[in-house]
Amino acid sequence: MNTVFMNEMSWVDYQARIERDAPPVLLPVGALEQHGPHLPLGTDGLLSTAVAADAARRVGGLVAPGLSYGYKSQPKCGGGQHFCGTTSVDAATLIGSVRDAVREFERHGVKRLVIVNGHYENQWFLTEGIDLGLRDLGAGAALEVVRLEYWDFLTEATLAAVFPDGFPGFALEHAAVIETSLMLHYHPNLVRVDLIPDDGPADFPPYDAYPSRRHWVPLSGVLSSARGSDAAKGRLIAEEVAQRLATAIEARFP
C-alpha cells in the first residue's frame, strides 16, 4: 500500500506513518468555480491536489483531502459570482475550515503542514485560518505551517517558454494557458480542447465595483486566451512546480 492520499489509508497506517516518519502533510485548497466552457468546475482543486501529490511523492509526504469550496470568485481573477456552477463560501467559512484543520492535524501529531492553494481568492483567508489555528494551539505547539500558491514556483525562464508572446500575469491566467495545459497533463479526459474560446485578455479598470459589473467579464468566463495550451507545456509546468515545491518543503522542514 503505497498511496500518498490520506483518505485512502486506514487510521492505523496513517498513525504509524506520522509516528515513524513525521511526514509533511499537504492540504490542497481549491474552489468550485467556472473555468470557461473547456475546463471542469473543480479545476482549482484538481490541480492543487495533483501538484501536492507530485511533491508529496518526492518528499515522502501525505496529501489530505482538499478543501473543495473556495472564497467568492472575483471578476478580475475568477470571472465573478454570476456564473452558474460557481459555488463559493463566505470568508468566515473558509477561515473556520482552515483553523479546524490546523487544530486537528496538530492533534494527530503532524509537525509539518503545507497548505497548497490553487484558487487566487483564497489567499488571505487561508492566512487568517492558519493564524487563528496556531493561536488556538498556543506557543508550545510543535506544528509548523507553510502556505503557498503553487504558480509562484514557476521560474521566469519557464514562463518565457510557455508564453512566447508575453505573460499576461497570474490574475488573468484564469482558465487560460497555465491551467488548461496543466489539466491536459494531469486530467486530459476532462478537457474539451474543441471548446477553447478566443476571448481576452480582459481589460479591467484599476478598481472594483459592487455589485460587480458583469459586462467587464467575457461571456465565456475565460479572462485570457487558452489557445496555445498543450500537454507538453503542462508537463513542463507540473515538473517545475513539483520539484521546486519539494525542494522548498525539504528546506523549510529539514
- Give CA–CA dist 240/153, Å, rounded: 7
Candidates 54, 106, 173, 179; catalytic one: 179
String of DSSP letters for 19-75: HHH---EEEEE--B--BTTTB-TTHHHHHHHHHHHHHHHHHT-EEPPPB---BPPPH
Give me the phi and psi of 222, to 5 degrees please: -85, 130
Beta sheet of 62-63, edge-to-edge order: 62-63, 25-29, 112-117, 144-149
How far apart (Å, rounded) are the C-alpha atoms in residues 210 and 217? 14
Interacting positions 128-157 with Mn ion (CB under 5 A): none
Told to check if 36 binds Mn ion by CB under 5 A, we report: no
The DSSP 8-state label assigned to residue 137 in this structure reads: H
* 44 contacts Mn ion (rule: CB under 5 A): yes
Beta-bridged to residue 149, according to DSSP, are 117
Determine, following the binding rule CB under 5 A, whether residue 76 of this chain makes contact with Mn ion: no
- Asked if 54 touches Zn ion (CB under 5 A), the answer is no
Q: Which CB sits closer to Zn ion, 141 or 171? A: 171
Of these, 25, 31, 32, 110, which contacts Mn ion (CB under 5 A)?
31
Q: Which residue is it, cell 488573468?
A: 172
For the bound state, the minimum distance from the C-beta of residue 15 to Mn ion, rounded and expressed in Å, comes to 34
- Size (the chain), residues: 254
Per annotation, catalytic residue among 54, 106, 121, 199? 121
Q: Is 33 a catalytic residue?
A: yes
Out of 119, 147, 185, 233, point to the residue binding Mn ion (CB under 5 A). 119
| 44 catalytic per annotation | yes
Options 106, 174, 185, 199, the catalytic residue: 174
Binding region for Mn ion (CB under 5 A) out of 23-31, 104-112, 140-148, 176-184: 23-31
- CB of 232 vs Zn ion, minimal distance in Å: 20
Of the residues 119, 173, 185, 199, only one is catalytic, namely 119
Residues forming the active site:
33, 35, 44, 119, 121, 174, 179
Residues in touch with Mn ion (CB under 5 A):
31, 33, 44, 78, 119
